[in-house]
Every structure is written in C-alpha cells, then in structure tokens.
Amino acid sequence: MPFSGSLAVDLVDPKILHGSQISMCELEHMKKYPNAKVISLGIGNTTEPIPDIVASSMADYARALSTPEGYSGYGDEQGNKALRKAIAETLYRGLPIKDTEVFVSDGAQCDISRLQILLGSDVSIAVQDPSFPAYIDSSVIIGQAGDFQEAVEKYQNIEYMECGPQNNFFPDLSSTPRTDIIFFCSPNNPTGQAASRQQLENLVKFASENGSIIVYDSAYAAFITDGSPRSIYEIPGARKVAIEVSSFSKVAGFTGVRLGWTIVPEELLFSNGIPVINDFNRIVCTCFNGASSVAQVGGLASLSSQGFKAVLSVVDYYKENAKILVDTFTSLGLKAYGGVNAPYVWVHFPGSSSWDVFSDILEKTHIITVPGSGFGPGGEEYIRVTALGHRDSMLEASTRLRTLFP
Ligand SMILES: Cc1ncc(COP(=O)(O)O)c(C=O)c1O
C-alpha cells in the first residue's frame, strides 16, 4: 500500500469544504430552479476586459516569439529588470524601495505559499479574523497549523486576531500574544476595510518590539480612496519588519494572466542576522523559475502612464459597483462595511448564521454570496459580496435584493 501523504487529512479541511459547499449549493439550486438566472456575487473574480493597450502589448510580444529576433527563453528568476524598476518607481513612488528588492511572481497567492516554505513550519502565526483563507490554508499545508478545534473553529497553533466593527477592524494589540509571523491584509478581504496610518504605525511598532515579521498583503491597494496607506512601507520602520505581497490580479484584471510581486527589504533580518532577502531569493530560484514573460510584458504596459490610467478606470468601474451594493444593503436597514477602499462589501446580519443568510438569499433571489464563516469564526453573522462583476448584474442583484426585504 502506498504511504499516506501528509495532506490526506485535508480532505476534511473545513476551508476547502466551505468552497465546495458553495458550489454544491449552487448546483442544487440550479437543479431546483433550472430557469433561474443565477447572479454570482460570490468568488472575487474580475469580469471586465483588460484595456487594449495592455492586451496588445502581450499579443505583440507573444506573436514575436515565433520569430528569431523576437524569441526569448528563461528570464531572470526574480523578474524582468524593467518591470521590477517600474513596480518600484510607479507603485512605490516616494518610498525607498529598490528594484532589487522586488521579486516578480505569478500571483500573490503563490507567493504566500512560497513564503510559508521560507518561514517553515516551526513558527507561530497570527492572522486577522476574518481573513483571506490562503494564509491559514498554506499554514495547514506546511504543517504549522496544528489540529482544527471544532468547538471554536480555529486551528490550534494559529492566533486569530479579531477584527470587526467593535474594534474598528483592527486587532487589540494589547491583548494579542507575540507570534513570529503576522499575516496582515489591507484593504482586508473579506471586510473591505483599509487600515489607517495610525493603526499601521501601531502594527509596525508591535512587530518591532516583538521581533515579529509582518507579511503584508496589499492585493487591493489600488482600490484605496480615503488616503489610507497603500503600502506598509509608508510606515517608518516597516523596512525592518515587513514583507509585502501584492498582485496585478485586481488592479489590471490579471486574475487569469497571473502576475504579482513580493517586496523583501534588505534591512529585514532573521534573528541570526541573515538577510531574509537572501533566503527568499533562494526560494524563488528553486521553487519558482520566474513569471511568464508574456504576463510580465503586460504588467509593464499596465504601469506605463497610459496603461495605468486605463487599468485604473476599470478599478473605478468596480468601485461604482461597490457603491451600488453598499447603497442597496444600507437601504434595507443593514450595516454594510467596506466597498469604499475595496471591491468587497461585508454585510452584517446580527444574530443569524452566515450559512442561513446565504441560503435564504439564494433561495429568494437566486444570488450567490459567500457566508462569512468561511473567512474564520469572526465572519459568523456576515456575508461577503463582491463588486467584481458586470454592471447589469449589480443592478439586477440590487433590484432583487430590494424585493427580498421590502
Ligand atoms: C487578499 C488576497 N491576497 C491575494 C489574492 C490572490 O491574488 P493572486 O491572484 O495574485 O494570486 C487574493 C485573491 O482573491 C486576495 O483576496
């Protein structure tokens, strides 16, 4: 008999079950109502076309690969130099980020897993509760998380930092135990909340005092409208304590193209004095081999002055969708968070189970949402809806929801 893999246990992983449970509910619903036009406000997937200036650059480059002059093979594992420079100069303008500290990737989610390999299983980890499931799931895969404790719906070795309206969506650091790693996402998926400068200053101070590394996920930074920091490196001292992972997925519609980046500052050191950037470089060269050259050309085009304007106009479109959703839920007398600095709206149904709300909305309106409990126990009583969708779906969803709670 073959040996049992270390992940065999994951067949019952609650987070994986959560995603497939939503798909199963959708399938069941479609069987029950074959003529229903189901609207998905569930998974955060982009829907709007990539601006032509960006798509053409990739098409031209790909076509030239069929010519002797245009062909190229492997590139630098860390990414195309011009793109690294453009990321540092465009997205971190005014901040002391060097192009050599930028590692281009095939997406933030992939880098979160590579960072888990870098950090190893013998570390303590804290996450926001609720949070994007990849931080915990990759901790489970690396063998760090420990047992799942059904009674509290938490993994044993993970510190869940409650982040809800009661604490302005920012953890009470005075009662948060020290951990080696703090995963922190701003604007946060699922709550849509961006941390303020003051909150991030507190976080950096907390990490510095405790010798912790912050893994800061800024995948939705382009949606920030209220002046909140777009990068952790806007905070003094962050270069010594933080790694930043980010993505072209939501800013440039690259969810399918796949492109992201991670910043590892030279000043960030392990306790033995070894620069983290050296080890991350080794992981990138060993466990990755560089992002697709075609995708990188697209990334570069999206950071040109014309390209950037074009992709940001798509971000604006999604932000208008978010406003439609916030207004809809607010008009129903519900508290809807987020939607200003992120394409997610986090709606509170006090006293209700998030799965019951999900089922009720699906049954009555044929709209798929995401039950908040899939993002951690702090997501109970909430649903997340995404503004990443076509405008007509948003308007139709709004009309249906308004009839749900007349
Ligand atoms: C917070 C957060 N980080 C990372 C990702 C994944 O990004 P990518 O498509 O670059 O892998 C997502 C995707 O939904 C996300 O919500």
pLDDT digits (tens, 9 = 90+) for 206-262: 999 999 999 999 999 999 999 999 999 999 999 999 999 999 999 999 999 999 999
Report pLDDT for 113.
97
Is the distance from the beta carbon of residue 131 to the nearest atom of ligand 1 less than 6 Å? Answer: no
How many Å from the N-terminal Cα to the C-terminal Cα in the chain? 60
Q: Do the beta carbons of residue 285 and residue 77 sit within 8 Å?
A: yes
Distance CA 125, CA 109 (A): 17
Helix extents (H) in 126-265 = 134-142, 197-210, 249-252
pLDDT at 17 over 80: no
Residue 277 CA, ligand 1 centroid: distance in Å:
22
Q: Do the beta carbons of residue 388 and residue 319 sit within 8 Å?
A: no
The verdict on pTM exceeding 0.75 is yes
Neighbour-count burial of 55, counting CB atoms closer than 10 A to its CB (0-12 exposed, 13-18 middle, 19+ buried): middle
* pLDDT tens for each residue of 143-190: 999 999 999 999 999 999 999 999 999 999 999 999 999 999 999 999
Residue 108 CA, ligand 1 centroid: distance in Å:
6
Q: How confident is the model at residue 6 (pLDDT cuts 50, 70, 90)?
A: low
Residue 397: C-alpha distances to residues 12, 28, 322, 333 (Å): 33, 20, 12, 17
Is the distance from the beta carbon of residue 159 to the nearest atom of ligand 1 less than 6 Å? Answer: no
Q: For 75-85+95-292, CATH number? A: 3.40.640.10
Is the distance from the beta carbon of residue 298 to the nearest atom of ligand 1 less than 6 Å? Answer: no
Is the distance from the beta carbon of residue 192 to the nearest atom of ligand 1 less than 6 Å? Answer: no
pLDDT at 4 over 70: no
Q: Structure tokens of 41? A: 């406000």
Residue 255 CA, ligand 1 centroid: distance in Å:
9
Mutate to test the pocket of ligand 1, among 112, 132, 136, 184 (most ligand atoms within 8 A of CB): 132
Q: Do the beta carbons of residue 368 and residue 38 sit within 8 Å?
A: yes
Fold of 8-49+307-404: Aspartate Aminotransferase, domain 1 (3.90.1150)
* pLDDT tens for each residue of 23-41: 999 999 999 999 999 999 9
Residue 219 CA, ligand 1 centroid: distance in Å:
6
Is the distance from the beta carbon of residue 137 to the nearest atom of ligand 1 less than 6 Å? Answer: no
Is the distance from the beta carbon of residue 218 to the nearest atom of ligand 1 less than 6 Å? Answer: no
pLDDT at 403 over 70: yes
* pLDDT tens for each residue of 321-376: 999 999 999 999 999 999 999 999 999 999 999 999 999 999 999 999 999 999 99
Closest CA to 192 of 220, 160, 222, 225: 220
Report pLDDT for 89.
97
* pLDDT tens for each residue of 78-132: 999 999 999 999 999 999 999 999 999 999 999 999 999 999 999 999 999 999 9
Distance CA 239, CA 233 (A): 6
Distance CA 308, CA 251 (A): 9
Q: What is the mean pLDDT of residues 368-387?
A: 97
Q: Do the beta carbons of residue 283 and residue 117 sit within 8 Å?
A: yes
Q: Do the beta carbons of residue 341 and residue 315 sit within 8 Å?
A: no
Domain ranges of the chain: 8-49+307-404, 75-85+95-292
Report pLDDT for 11.
44
Distance CA 17, CA 398 (A): 29
Q: How confident is the model at residue 18 (pLDDT cuts 50, 70, 90)?
A: confident
Number of H helices, E strands in the chain: 12, 15
Is the distance from the beta carbon of residue 247 to the nearest atom of ligand 1 less than 6 Å? Answer: yes
The protein residue with its alpha carbon nearest to ligand 1, atom 10, reads 107
Q: Structure tokens of 289? A: 């081999």
Q: What is the dihedral of CA 149, 155, 157, 159, to 10 degrees?
A: -110
Q: Do the beta carbons of residue 30 and residue 366 sit within 8 Å?
A: no
The number of CA neighbours under 13 Å toward the Cβ of 43 is 11
